[in-house]
Each structure stands twice: as structure tokens, then as C-alpha cells.
Structure 1
Amino acid sequence: MNKTDLLNYLKETSYAMTQSDMDEAILLHFELVTQSYRKKPFFYKTLLKYDRYIVALSLLSFSYEDSRVPLSKVKAFCQQRGYLSRNSLDAYFSFFFISGYMHVHLHNEDGRQRIFVPTQTALCETASMLKAFLLPSQMIVPYLGRQVNALNSEDLLRYFFRGFSKLLEADLMLDKLMPETMWLVNRAGGHLPMLALYTDAMRNGSLHSNQKVSSYVELSKRLSVSKTHLIRMVKEGEVKGYFKCHKHSVELRPVFLELARKIMSVHFSVVCISIELGMDVKADKYAC
């Protein structure tokens, strides 16, 4: 597929998901991600911030494409895309190394270059995160069904990153498809604060009305982010028309619920299509 075909397929898949009942899938995704989040809250609230998250996926995508790719090549790519600055990338890569998610050694043929290898811990946690998107997405539109369920984690990662590299190269990520959402997801905890509000509303039966949900203190405790951080996010959302602020809680507007569904439909679609492309499933639909 060329870029136009990929974009059309992604939009088509995402739209189909928004026309379905996504609520149970979103709830399952939130529960699966928070299982990992609770074990390492500091790590995941950093990782899930959108710019950090896309850099982590870029690292793995380049690694699966070429196991000897220099770290400098990934750094240059991420800088060119504007994900993070040079200094922030250096600090982030060091964070992965110190946290035990990346091995780094000198290139055998060029001592000026450093080669990186994701650790087994990194791969296991990536597989868990991938399944946290994939399993819920199959509840909405079961594209791959048994083919995916039969895969082990190693094959699942290989197929995913083989296809994901095509979407990444075409620059068809959330920041380009929905740049207006970055105020919400490019924060500590990434999309989880958004989903905490959404799932609270769903559990309270208030998805179709303006109703107050969790207090800032409750959300702060659950997500290991400061109350000030959450208040700042909600106040920005209030200016944009998504929330109404109260002294201790937040009221969701219907437009926020719609925005959350659209964001998750893109996330789910990227995972599904990446695996389809990696497995060559339905890839001939838009054959060039």
C-alpha cells in the first residue's frame, strides 16, 4: 500500500469502530493497561505520555527492521519528526538503559556508533501492552480472530512491528491524524487520565448526560499523577468545551466522550492494521 491507501484504510477502520459499541472494549483496555501501570507507576506514567510512547515504538520498530541499527539513526528520525529534542532523547534512552529495558554496545564495524537491543523484560511488557490494545479491538471488529489468538508473543511482536513500520514511515500516527488531541494525551499518564474519566462515567451510567465523575484526589491516587496536573488538564479542557470544573470534581461534556472514542478508535485501528500488514492479511485490499 502507498501512503494514500494506508490513510484511507486507517480512516475506514477507525470510522467503523466509532460506529460500533466501543464501551466494553475501552473498559477492558483500561483494565489491562492499569494492571501493568500499577506495578510500575513511575515508569508507565512516563512511557505513556504520547511523545515518549511514540519514541519507544520507533525504537522497537527500527530494531525489528534491522537488529544492528545504530541508536543515532533512531534519534535522528525522532528529532526530524519533532517527537523530542536531542537532549530529551538522550535522557530518555538513558532512562531505558538504566531501567533495564535496553542493552547498548558499540558497533563491531564502527566504534563511533552504538547498537541497542531491547531486553527480554522490554519485549514481554511490550507484548502485554500490545495485547491490551489488540484484545479489546477484536471485541469491536474481529478482523483477525483466531489467527491472532493462536500467535505466541514473539510472533505477535514481529508481525506487529513489521506492519507498524509502514504506518510509522508514512507518518500516520495520532499526532498527525488528530493533532487537536495532543493537549489531552501528551501528558503524564498519556491517555489513561482520559480513560479514567471515561470509564468512571460509564460505570456511573452517565455516558449520555452531563454528570460529575471522580474527584481529583481519587484520580490522582489511581494514576500516580499529581492533583495539580489533573486540575490543569481539566481546566484546559474546560476552555476547549470538553469539561465543566467543580470544586472537587469534573463534569464531562458529550463532546469529550466522543473525542475519547475517536482517539481509542485510532489506537485500536493502528494495532489491528499493523498486524494485518505484518501478516499480509487483507493487505491486497488496496494493492498498488
Structure 2
Amino acid sequence: MSAPAPTTTTTAAPRIVIAGAGPAAQALVRQLDLARFAGTITVLSSRDDAPEDLLELALLPQVSVRFGQPASHIDAAHRTVTTADGMEFAYDHLVIATGSAPVAAPVEGAEQCLSYSTIDDAAPIAEAVGAVTRELGRRPLGILVGTGAAAGQAEAVLRARGVRPVRTTARPAAVVPGTSAFGLAASAVIFEDGSSMSGDLVVLAEDRVALDGLAAGAGLRTAASGGIVISQDFRTSVPGIWAIGDAAAFDGVRLGLLVAAASAAGACATQLLTAVADAAPAVAAPALQAAA
């Protein structure tokens, strides 16, 4: 007579796929790593190059960064993501972090400007303003270009740092580089009619649109003004799919204008880990059977 085969209990390693590799996605990977997430994390990046910050994440043992392989299709029913080159990745939880893009083409000379598109831009703008102020030895005059919530936030940041902001809703045709030793500062903007505005620095806070096409194609609910609709716990309208960063929208507002990327990533990581723990049933697996 043979003895009954012993069984061991195993748990399938949870799989998290992140569509996007920007600041929000990177912050989420770091948070999951700090929390000792025991599963696998696959990051699908649209970038063909390998920037240092992404390379650092790719060195983590549980992380696979797929450079130049952006997500192109989501099969929510079978929980798979297909990339632009046809690779398919299965997931237990999918996080969409595809970000946002400017509505209009860049203004000529925009690289000489400071820019404000999310709350995360407040810190570098404050640092730049401090450098310009020290160089000038006086309160700077700032030209602020833009409308909407981003421009309003940018104006508040500038005022808090002692800048005298002059705001224009007319889009300039070009930005004039400044002569400041602080290379990022621009001194003026020129409009289509030839008129201009001069200052000590220029801040662009133009409208952006959430890149939510991937989500919309999978049937996820999107906001009328753009962005993947999320709840307070970063869940979308489809089970197993989450969204963070500027691709997401809460109460009709781009998430990047509401929460810093690191804060959102930390909160989302907590929710993800809870969901993983709640959905980790033990699976009985037969062990090797020895003859009695």
C-alpha cells in the first residue's frame, strides 16, 4: 500500500505591471521595493533610451524594465497587456501611469523657461527663483504664461517666493533668452504681433491633456476634461487596474495638480499591497510521492 502523497501550500507570486515610466511610475516602484513587495514588477517604458534613474530601478531583482515597449492594448477580461511590438504581459494588478502631454506645440525657446505642469514643479521653480534672486540682489519680475489651474498654482508659488508675477493669457510666439549667468532664466516673450513683455524670468504653465487613450480603449471610465477617473484609493472603474500620475483624474482634475508624485505613489503602493494580500489564496500543490 502506498502512503498518501503529501501536499505543500504555495502562493503564486503576484504580478504588477506598470504602463509608463515617468516620475509617478518610478516613485511607485521605489515604494513597492521599500515595502519588500515579494512579487514581480514589470515597467513598460515608451523611451528607447535608458536614463540613469530607470537603470537603477532595472537593477532591482524583482523589477523588469522594458525599454521602448510602451503598452498599446489592455485585455481587462484576461488581465493581459500587449506592447507596441506585440509582447504580451499577464498581470494581477495593472497601474497606468502614462502621464500627460502639452496641448500645443512647444513655444520657440521654451527650453530657456521654467515650466509648471504639476505640483512637483513647485520645488525646482522655488530653487531657480532663489538663484535668480541672489544673482539680481532684488525681487525678480516674472512673466507667467498660461491659463487654468496650473497657471494659478504657478502664480501662487512665484508670489510665495517673492517674485512679482505678470500674467499673460496670450500665447507667445517665442521666448527671448536672458543674459543671466543662471542659464535657465529667460528675459522676455514675443507675441505674434511683434509686441513683447520683459522680465527677469519666464514661467510657462500651459494647458496639458492626460494621456488616457490606452485606458479608454480598454473601457475604463475617463473624465469629460480628460484623465482616467480614479477613486480615493487610486482604483479605476475596472477591477485590477489602477492609475496614478498625470494620466489620472480625481473629481475632474488631473492628479498631478492635486498630489505630488511621491505622495501618490506611497498611498497607491499601500493600497496595492493590501489588495495583493487580500487576493493571495493558498494553492495546494502535490509534492513528490515516495513509495511505501
Greater relative contact order structure (CA < 8 Å, 6+ sep):
1
Q: If each structure's strand is expressed as a fraction of its own residues, which one has the higher value?
A: 2
Q: Which has the larger radius of gyration?
A: 2
TM-score by length of 2: 0.28
TM-score by length of 1: 0.28
Q: If each structure's helix is expressed as a fraction of its own residues, which one has the higher value?
A: 1
